[in-house]
Structure 1
Amino acid sequence: FMDNSKNMDIDYKKARTFLDAGLTYPTGLGLGLKIKVNGNYAVNLKFNGKADLNAIMNNPRNAHFAFQFVPSGSLELASTLAVDADVVESGVKVSANLHSSTGTDLTVKVLDGYGVDVKLGLPVKKQEILNFHSDVFSVIREKTGSEVETPVKFNVKREDHGGCFDQLNTLTGLTVCGEVSVPLDGFKVLSPAYGPSKASLRIEKEDESLTAYHFRAFYDNKQPDKLSLEVLLDTPNSKTDRKFLLTAKGSMKPQKQLLIVMESPLTVPTTFEAVVIDTELEQAIAAKLTSDTAAYFIKIGAHISGDINRRKYEPILEYKFPETAALSDKGWIGRKGVKGGRQQQQSAVGISGAIYVEKNPGTAYRQYELQSVTLNTPNIKVTVDGTITIDANLIATDLKASYEKDTLTLNSKIQKLGERKYIARVDILPSKYP
């Protein structure tokens, strides 16, 4: 089996009549009443496979296998009820047929255990997922002639639905179509004796040049402190360009950085960059999104000063959108003013003020002092002052928020006095309702 798996070629065809039965009942008129039932099926399976199982087991990180599978089959049942008058035979025939014809070929390669390369082929232009129909005929056969079938017309209410889903045709090159037609009158839909029915579901290949889909994903972390990811989806040799490429690169040194680039003919080229700044003087996250000619930039963080026991954090909020600024020649858009200055760019939304963090080395004690921490927007201006104290068994706040002429004071204290013993107090005092 190991050796045969390297090149497997199977072409299986089978057609058979699995049901052929008939009975004739005499009647009082001297004419025979015939009942006949027939059942047939046909199957065609084509399979081609190439897989070196020994090589796959010995080196699974570089496994490679390919196969093509094209199955098709049909099933037909027919029953006839007729009166035999010797010189002529007349009656009704009911038949049902179920058919399916699909196909695909698949090639898979494992890329050194860090990725996969897959090719999915479309050897069949029209994929008949399901095709069912039932029919009712009146049949007449003269003794010296052949059987003549005439479709029977039914005066019953019917429901007919059909259509194709081609909204993703540009992306996939495929169109999904379906059709349903049944007699809709109670449970008569379940019986073919009340009229013919049909249902079908198929996938059609609209792009003749489309032969396969190519998917590739590879993750690389071989370099220290660096990693990359590449995802590719394409339809090679197709007249329509459907290539989608996503690349992501990240690094931990000298700074944490992420770069994502997306390319697709259906969308504009898009690039996303993000940098984590972590130094003694600044902690921040900066990100930029570039899409075609539009650029978006945002930076959030804080400037740091002071000693290890009492640090001062000044908030940073910078952003630029296409409506307010153009893209910097250097790619990254920085703060306005001279290098090293503290002047912030003018924007519709801003944060100012300072937060002092005081701590005692070796203990859980932390106190956060907010000094005129202000959020400015075109509609509101909110300023917060006060302290937040955190210790091993204590959380306390003494905060005051100001909005225009109104203020809101929050005083709270939650303290653990012992095992399963706590004390809590919360005071909220708005200036409007003292």
Structure 2
Amino acid sequence: MKSSRCKAFRSAILHLLGDPGHDFPPQQQVEYLEDGVLVVENGHITQIGSADSLLGQLPADCELETFPDQLIIPGLIDTHIHYPQTDMIAAYGEQLLEWLETYTFPTEKQFSDSALAREVADFFLDELLRNGTTTALVFGTVHPASVEAFFSAAEARKLRMIAGKVMMDRNCPSDLQDTPESSYQESKALIEKWHKRGRLLYAVTPRFAPTSSSEQLTKAGQLLREYPDTYLHTHVAENPAEVAWVRELFPTSRSYLDVYQQHGLLQPRSVLAHCLHLDDTDKQCMAESGAAAAFCPSSNLFIGSGLFDLHAAKTWGMRVGLGTDVGAGTSFSLLQTFADAYKTTQLLGNKLSPYQGLYLATLGGAEALYLDDKIGNLVPGKEADFVVLNFRGTPLLERRLQHCHSIHDKLFALMMLGDDRSVAATYILGERCK
């Protein structure tokens, strides 16, 4: 084995090779190495296997790091989060529409200040990495400066991130409004500067149907046609009052989702947060279009919006990733988000295995973002973004794990009880960043 900036990491290793489904035990999709080695060269994974089979093949100058009593998993993927809402996380007492008026819009007005935007972006990205999240689909604000600051901070950390400028031309404060034409021109300039620059990607980002006119949504569709490998990132059917409002604003549309369909916004790489109040026709449309749902259980519970039916979404063939939705979500941790996803699924009379949870936060998220050729698991050829989880992150977790006798039970306890304290290290392209 020829050495080219070769690094090897020895630990227990767990990742998914495909969707494990909802049944237990899963069929052929879970790869667990109790004593494994991950080999990285030039930022990419080159080998994965048992320590017995790989240690003897390593070049003499290959650096070896060992993590006893810990677990390597792929970097976590957050499919919906708002970086400008970092400072308003855990804001009290409103449902969606009142929450936007009371907290969100006043906070986002500040992001015309590029220095403030960069300071928040730096903190936000460091917080993601501290929680083991290595890729995220991120809302900016209506200000181009907010996106410039975010991408600059992400580029400095060599992160694979997706973000975009909010498009919002009505039903919001006047100093947060753009126009159909200005939102098109500003988004176009940002796409041409940042999209596919290093590991960065751009998302066309109308906030949601109530704050965009039909003319603006048409301009969003134009951007997607002109730049067909960009993303579409928005919200849909989060709250019953919001759904009723959209019915008034777009009376010729069959449903809230149909508003986006009529404007050419549903396609592969379209990610719609929440999807709580969709009917079967909507779910079929999501599946057939290749669009993905971002399941945001912590936010849905916090704002009181409803329960996402993961089993129904998967039955219809929808792509689904997991999202924290900070600041309506109350934690940057996708481990904690899984815990809320599990509880949500229980309330709907179903189960959510830890393998399915890990899938949603890794390979499933990558598939939702059409990035599973690059990230999402630890197969050779993928970018070497991964996380080391500490089985002794808290005294309670350490004590509980003494009574777990399978990786299934250990993973479940870790995902129910774990948080940022359970993240021992985060690696980006094979380099430790946390």
The alignment's TM-score, normalised by the length of structure 1, stands at: 0.19
Higher strand share: 1
Q: Which has the higher contact order (CA 8 A, sep 6+)?
A: 2
The alignment's TM-score, normalised by the length of structure 2, stands at: 0.19
The structure that has the greater radius of gyration is 1
